[in-house]
Structure 1
Amino acid sequence: MLSYDRNKDRVLKQIMALSFTQNELVLFLDTHPDNQKALAKYHEITAELKELRKFYKENFGPLTNAEVTSKTDWEWIKSPWPWEN
């Protein structure tokens, strides 16, 4: 696993940047489906984003309510809201 910053805001900004990059690569691949370099970069970014989202959830709580996995605890409500630093 990669080493990530322990600052919540910086990790969230990194997730946002990777998500933006991933979306841009999707749009590019829609018009250039045979571009192997872009496809490889898409898979690289997607894997990194998955790991970073996992790190965020484990350290700061779920990013969305769809990421709540506990069958006995509604963990979504336990982490601070974005405006509650």
Structure 2
Amino acid sequence: MKQTDEQYRDLLLEIQQVDFVIIELNLYLNTHPHDHAAIAQYNEYVQRSMQLKKNFEAIYGPLTSFGYSYSPIPWKWKDAPWPWQV
């Protein structure tokens, strides 16, 4: 497996942290569907997550597979380490 640099790990950690907030807000909104502030915060974090993932993929290649991420040429999904291996 290739070594990863500090930026790789930092960016991946930030993606995980932002996605955790999204999951928690999603659970909260399931029981509080009219909380406008929570919905705004959820949308803000979704936008941040999308941008972080776009930045990550531009530098390191696909973060996910099965139609969620574009792949450059050549096919990059086979290149380890995969995010869950770090």
Q: Is 1:16 aligned to 2:16, yes or no?
A: yes
Q: Percent identity?
A: 29
What TM-score do the two structures reach when normalised by structure 1? Answer: 0.79
Aligned length: 78
**Structure-1 separation of matches of 2:62 and 2:73:** 15
Contact 2:61–2:71 under 8 Å retained in 1: no
Contact 2:22–2:45 under 8 Å retained in 1: yes
Q: Structure 1 unaligned runs (5+)?
A: 1-5
Spell out structure 1 runs of 4+ moving beyond 4 A: none
Within 5 Å, give how 1:6-85 maps onto structure 2.
Answer: 7-66=7-66, 67-70=68-71, 73-78=74-79, 80-82=80-82, 83=85
Contact 2:25–2:42 under 8 Å retained in 1: yes
The structure whose RCO (Cα within 8 Å, separation 6+) is larger is 2
What TM-score do the two structures reach when normalised by structure 2? Answer: 0.78
**Structure-1 separation of matches of 2:73 and 2:8:** 26
Query: RMSD across aligned C-alpha pairs, in angstroms?
Result: 2.1
